[in-house]
Amino acid sequence: MTGQDLLSNRVNAIDVSGIRKAFQLGAKLENPINLSIGQPDFAVPEPVKQAAIDAIRNDRNGYTLTSGDPELLSSIRTHIQRDVGWDMQSGELDAIVTSGTSGALLLSFMALLDPGDEAVIADPYFVVYTALGPMTNATIRLCDTYPDFRMTAERVEPLLTDRTKIVLVNSPANPTGIVLTDDELRELAELCRSRGIMLISDEIYDLFTWPEHLDASGHCPSPARHSDDMLLIRGFGKTYGCTGWRLGYAAGPSWLISEMAKLQQYSFVCAPSMAQAAASAALHTDMQPIVDRYHARSQMVMDSLSPLTDLPEPGGAFYAFVRVPPQLDCSAAAFCEEAIRRNVIIIPGNVFSRHDTHFRLSMAADEESLARGLEVIADMMR
């Protein structure tokens, strides 16, 4: 057997060529305007940094409990109770600290899916979602959400089969920035509950929700305000600018959280200890000035590109998913290659979708770079 023959079907089924190509093209540029970055461009708040440093100095460097540092878990429980109203004291619900939001996603899919089982995700999707299929030998069914990118119950329902175990919703969404309404999320929760399907809500961008898209209670809309029979996944990386610390959490039915903890025990073991120590401090940090700044950037994108093309208004996250004007008669891949030739890095839609009609533009770039990049893109569109 050659080395290639030894590899599993699992890895052969995962294709990273799209993203790799975009990065390889970008790497050749000397001083590019980079609008492809999927992580925030602000520094971790000083008190949060200090809490991590203190944790290391105070010898909090060993394993934590598998399900998380008790102090952090307690802060998370309180936070969830306040934010979505779940009764975290009842014993029916529990939480687990994970190695990034990605860790929570993988553990939940592993805990729920057998070979041949199905999970429904939106198209366009966050790239990890499709890879979770081969990783768990499950089938991923794509819910086409073009042209408005809303994963509604009406669009999901025809995709459900007797093998469907998971519907995974992501709002605010990567790569589109779309925020679903409270009603849309309630309907999804009701559909899943009525069919005995686990709704998983990836709310990693919850902090980045623009004011006009908040729900009546002033929060990022969440199905968790309508059901506790679901899994809520959130993260610290994007919210506090510490993506490399690998920290997220999941909350939901205790029967599921305990199985995720079992899998975590034998895989990730626990989330990084110093990051967990710092996260309690993070939960008390006011990030509103940063959110306002990202919101203003999102408005810059709308002002610049919406007169030129079809651009469903982002309600949050820090992305826009922009249609290459059809009259240009070119694929998004070709459009993005031309943008890269003009020193602007954006990612073609086919990396996140079966379609190749749009590109993802990230607002995690300073205002001056963003303005220059938008000018180049607008010029190409004209």
List residues near ligand PMP by CB under 6 A.
Answer: 38, 100-102, 126, 170, 174, 202, 204, 235, 237, 243, 248
Shortest distance in whole angstroms from residue 95 CB to ligand PMP: 15
Q: Would you say 104 or 381 has its CB closer to ligand PMP?
A: 104
Shortest distance in whole angstroms from residue 317 CB to ligand PMP: 8
Q: In what order do the strands lie in the sheet with 358-362?
A: 319-323, 358-362, 347-348
Shortest distance in whole angstroms from residue 176 CB to ligand PMP: 10
Q: Would you say 243 or 304 has its CB closer to ligand PMP?
A: 243
Shortest distance in whole angstroms from residue 272 CB to ligand PMP: 12
Cα end-to-end span (Å), the chain: 55
Shortest distance in whole angstroms from residue 327 CB to ligand PMP: 31
Q: Would you say 107 or 381 has its CB closer to ligand PMP?
A: 107
Shortest distance in whole angstroms from residue 203 CB to ligand PMP: 9
* 243 token code pair: 């993506």
Q: Would you say 68 or 248 has its CB closer to ligand PMP?
A: 248
Shortest distance in whole angstroms from residue 305 CB to ligand PMP: 21
Residue 206's Cβ-side half-sphere holds a number of Cα atoms within 13 Å equal to 23
Q: Would you say 129 or 304 has its CB closer to ligand PMP?
A: 129
Shortest distance in whole angstroms from residue 122 CB to ligand PMP: 10
Tell me the residue number closest to ligand PMP, measured at CB: 100
Shortest distance in whole angstroms from residue 202 CB to ligand PMP: 5
Q: In what order do the strands lie in the sheet with 230-235?
A: 93-98, 248-253, 230-235, 198-202, 164-170, 118-123, 139-144
Q: Would you say 128 or 308 has its CB closer to ligand PMP?
A: 128
Q: Would you say 186 or 234 has its CB closer to ligand PMP?
A: 234
Report the 3 state secondary structure along the chain: CCHHHHCCHHHHCCCCHHHHHHHHHHHCCCCCEECCCCCCCCCCCHHHHHHHHHHHHCCCCCCCCCCCCHHHHHHHHHHHHHHHCCCCCCCCEEEEEECHHHHHHHHHHHHHCCCCCEEEEEECCCHHHHHHHHHHCCEEEEEECCCCCCCCHHHHHHHCCCCEEEEEEECCCCCCCCCCCHHHHHHHHHHHHHHCCEEEEECCCCCCECHHHCCCCCCCCCHHHCCCCEEEEEECHHHHCCHHHCCEEEEEEHHHHHHHHHHHHCCCCCCCHHHHHHHHHHCCCCCHHHHHHHHHHHHHHHHHHCCCCCCCCCCECCEEEEECCHHHCCCHHHHHHHHHHCCEECEEHHHCCCCCCEEEEECCCCHHHHHHHHHHHHHHHC
Q: At what angle do helices 273-282 and 46-57 cross, to 10 degrees?
A: 140
Q: Would you say 26 or 38 has its CB closer to ligand PMP?
A: 38
* 134 token code pair: 């081969």
Q: Would you say 317 or 333 has its CB closer to ligand PMP?
A: 317
Shortest distance in whole angstroms from residue 244 CB to ligand PMP: 9
Q: Would you say 85 or 244 has its CB closer to ligand PMP?
A: 244
